[in-house]
Structure 1
Amino acid sequence: MATVEITGENFQETVQGDGIVVLDFWAEWCGPCQRFAPIFERVSEENPDVVFGKVDTEAQQELSAALQIQSIPTVMMFRDGLMLARESGLQSGKAINDLIARAKELDMDEARRQIEALRQGGAQ
């Protein structure tokens, strides 16, 4: 699956959908980002059932600031609207594939129950 461009306008719609979404926060001037780009593209081709998106931090400064992106490349992974992982620095294809495999195995109903329990505990 080809990667999609993520902007402030389509971010929420993209990450709130069903399934797994992997985002690459990058900039053209960033050397590690340039080295990571073909890895990210290859992993996207290996996982056609996953949405892969790229966020140009220069063009999407407001979105990057809202998500507190402080170093690039940064990879964020969501499943069914929940952020499951956030990794900064140059990642290997194996590391990204491992994150995806763990996300696929995750019991999302149990994850939501745990998050709600944490919220309830924090509200007291």
Structure 2
Amino acid sequence: MSTIDLNKDTFQTAIQEDKPLIVDFWAPWCGPCRSFAPVFEQEATEHDDITFAKVNTEEEQELATGLGIRSIPTLMVFREQVLLFSQAGALSPAQLKELIAQVKEVDMKQVHAEIAAQQDGAAPQQ
């Protein structure tokens, strides 16, 4: 599977999908973004169980600002509408592979329990 392009109109729908979503925030003038793009595209072809998306921050400034993007490239990972990861800077191929492995291993029941506990002001149950 290749990457998809997201904008402010499609972003919310994308994070509501069942599959994990990895978003690369980039700009055409950004050298590190251009260097990271082939790494991101390669992983996208290897993982049909994850949606890989790109957001051009030049065209989608409102979306980028709303998500607190301050430097690019920035990667964000969402799963079941929860932001699991956000980091500025290009990852090496090995780092991206490791991140993908970690995303697949996350116990989302535990994550949702922890979120619910935080919202209730209680400690999460083990």
- Taking only aligned residues, the RMSD between alpha carbons, in angstroms, comes to 1.1
Code of the residue aligned with 1:37 in structure 2: it is: A
Query: Secondary structure of 2:37's match?
Result: helix
In the alignment, what sits opposite 2:69? 69
Name the residue aligned to 1:14.
Answer: 14
Query: How far has the Cα of 1:90 moved from its partner?
Result: 1.3
For residue 32 of structure 1, what is the aligned residue in structure 2? 32
Query: How many angstroms does 1:89 deviate by?
Result: 0.6
Instruction: Using the aligned pairs only, state the percent identity.
Output: 43
- Counterpart in the other structure of 2:78: 78
Query: For 2:121, what is the secondary structure of its paired residue?
Result: helix
User: SS of the counterpart of 2:97?
Assistant: helix
SS of equivalent to 1:75: strand
Poorly superposed stretches of 4+, deviation over 2 Å: none
Give the TM-score, by structure 1 length: 0.94
**Counterpart in the other structure of 2:89:** 89
How far has the Cα of 1:99 moved from its partner? 1.5
Q: CA deviation at 1:23?
A: 0.3
Unaligned runs of 5+ in 2: none
In the alignment, is residue 111 of structure 1 matched against residue 111 of structure 2?
Answer: yes
Between the two proteins, the alignment pairs up a number of residues equal to 122
